[in-house]
Amino acid sequence: MATTTNNLALTVPGPQPAKLFGRSTNLFRFVKDSVGYTRQLFETYGPIVSLAYGGGTNIYSPLPNCPGTVFVYGPEFVRQVATEHEVYYKYPLSGKMYRQRSRCERTEPLKHFGVGLFGVNSEQHRQHRQLLMPAFHKQRIESYRNDIVSITQVVLDQLGVVQQYDIAEIMRLLTLRVATKTLFGEDIGIEGGNTGRLLQDTLALLGTPQVALLPWDLPGFPYHRLLNLMAQLDDQMRALIQHKRGRGSDQPDVLSMLLQARDEESGAFLSEDELLGHTGVIFAAGHETSSNALTWTLFLLTQHPQIAADLLDELDSLLKGEAPTVEQLSQLPLLERVIKESLRILPPVPWNGRVTASPTQLGGYTLPTGTEVFVSIYQTHHMPELYSHPEAFNPHRPEALALNTFEYNPFSAGPRTCIGAAFAMMEIKIVLAMLLQRFRLQCVPRIKVDRTGLIVMAPKQGMPMIVHKQDRLLNLGVGQVRGNVRDMVNLPSY
């Protein structure tokens, strides 16, 4: 049984370790399908459950001593974990790999890669968030509208009618270009703009189990390639920072603004390593999550033709085929409700992970210092106590008007609410409005849609669809969807 230095053991109920492979079996089942496996655990043990009874598991925490892993769901648990800022700490996206940051010169990029706001806590988090806030001010976010429109237009122009595409990959490319343009001031569609692509490749490799299972810096191993990518990214980002420092503050991108940021009280500013950490996290959060939100929303609309028709009526009535202006975005209520309902039923980020900084009480159980706590955004969003018929995709549900941020929290809640939430909503609205007016997407026959991912939830096999001009034949391609997406949302079967 795992214990901490304060002699407290993890007593939260949960499944016993398997006889043959022990806690590794529990961990494997979680990694394979975190949403499906924990749903079974919640049904068996209730709204607070450990990955393995007695602890001894470690998914995310980089601390040397992790007593175990606990999963919770429900508004009260969301509130407690999200608002008790001094108890529930957050750590870098690199997770357990963060321990290796001082091992040698090759691992030094781990000191800042994926750190950003995820890797700072207490007063340091407050100060860093204040330094970042001007880059996400309402007026600054709205200034990116033209970039989003122009990039979306270019991507849509490249799609051929009556051709099949992986829409998940198309959305990933689109949001990648938007992220690199708004964050760095460059577009990867233009020759030489490869910072975003390098960041994407590094983050994708970081999330593979092979890196964690085979952490050897030898040629041919994924971990070796990861360190190579991090070194390249470091060199490129440091050169970009020096270039922008030389040009001054006249550039509109996020990185240029962060270079000029100063704390009003202390005069503190972000170091070069801190800048590298923040840009990596902003890129990851703003790119991968938005692309999955777009993909899931487009999928849901293909399977709900009446909702798609009503949305088209709204878009056509106001926009008449044009891209929305900033002012028009607030005049499209159904578009906003469709997006919010999609984020509820298929949240791109299904988990909010934290680590206890001191012993604490949660759900009547004492959690030792260092306990991993994963709040299930997905399970909270599917509570029948909060949402009538929670598996129904219903943008008109009346309860949505009365819910607070602990009952509906796709962008988290409390002091760590996603700093880029307003930007993400604007980007998703613009892309959907432009795409839906121009094209009708149709799922390929017998499409299989399974969920995958830990940090983000994505379609495992991609999202193959056939692109048609917008002819309003919205009933075509409805039904015949296979896969475990049917566990999460009610879909027609024809």
**50-106: per-residue pLDDT in tens?**
999 999 999 999 999 999 999 999 999 999 999 999 999 999 989 889 999 999 999
pTM: predicted TM-score of the whole model, two decimal places: 0.93
Q: What is the pLDDT of residue 3?
A: 34
Tell me: pLDDT of 319 over 80: yes
CA 161 to chain centre: 31
Dig out the tokens for 389 from the structure. 């018929």
Q: What is the pLDDT of residue 20?
A: 81
Distances (CA, A) of 300 to 1, 81, 450, 492: 45, 31, 14, 11
pLDDT tens digits for range 17-42:
988 889 999 998 998 999 999 999 99
**Contact between 133 and 282 (Cβ < 8 Å):** no
**Contact between 345 and 354 (Cβ < 8 Å):** no
CB atoms within 10 A of CB 153: 12
Q: What is the pLDDT of residue 223?
A: 93
CATH class, range 124-349+381-487? mainly alpha
Q: Which of 393, 203, 380 is nearest to 296 (CA)?
A: 393
Q: Distance between CA 5 and CA 288 in Å, rounded?
A: 38
361 forms beta bridges with 366
Instruction: Work out the pLDDT band at 342, boundaries 50, 70, 90.
Output: very high
The SS3 call for residue 446 is coil
Task: Determine what percent of the chain is predicted with pLDDT higher than 70.
Answer: 96
Helix ranges (H only) for 362-465 are 377-381, 421-438
Q: Distance between CA 420 and CA 288 in Å, rounded?
A: 13
Q: What is the pLDDT of residue 121?
A: 95
Q: What is the pLDDT of residue 202?
A: 87
* pLDDT (average), residues 367-389: 97
Tell me: pLDDT of 276 over 50: yes
Dig out the tokens for 476 from the structure. 């075509």
Asked which of 148-157, 190-199, 338-347 is least confident by mean pLDDT, the reply is 190-199
Question: Which residue type is seen at 375?
Answer: V
Q: What is the pLDDT of residue 6?
A: 44
Asked which of 34-38, 253-257, 400-404 is least confident by mean pLDDT, the reply is 400-404
Task: Determine what percent of the chain is predicted with pLDDT higher than 90.
Answer: 75
Tell me: pLDDT of 339 over 50: yes
Q: Which residue has the tokens 């700490």?
A: 89
Q: What is the pLDDT of residue 2?
A: 36
Tell me: pLDDT of 334 over 60: yes
Query: How many Cα atoms are found within 13 Å in the side-chain-facing hemisphere of 138?
Result: 2
| 99-101-104-106 Cα dihedral, nearest 10 degrees | 130
Cα dihedral sign, 401-407-409-413 = positive
Secondary-structure breakdown of the chain: helix, strand, coil percentages, each rounded to the nearest 5: 50, 10, 40
pLDDT tens digits for range 189-230:
654 457 777 887 888 888 777 887 788 999 999 999 999 999
Sorted by sequence, the CB contacts under 8 Å of residue 442 that are 6+ apart come out as 302, 465, 466, 468, 476, 477
Cα 306–Cα 308–Cα 311 angle in degrees, nearest 5: 110
Tell me what the pLDDT averaged over the chain comes to: 92
Q: Which residue has the tokens 């890196």?
A: 211
Burial 424-440, CB ≥16 within 10 A → b, else e? bbbbbbbbbbbbbbbbb
Q: What is the pLDDT of residue 193?
A: 53
Instruction: Work out the pLDDT band at 5, boundaries 50, 70, 90.
Output: very low
Q: What is the pLDDT of residue 199?
A: 81
Q: What is the pLDDT of residue 493?
A: 86
Dig out the tokens for 10 from the structure. 């993890």
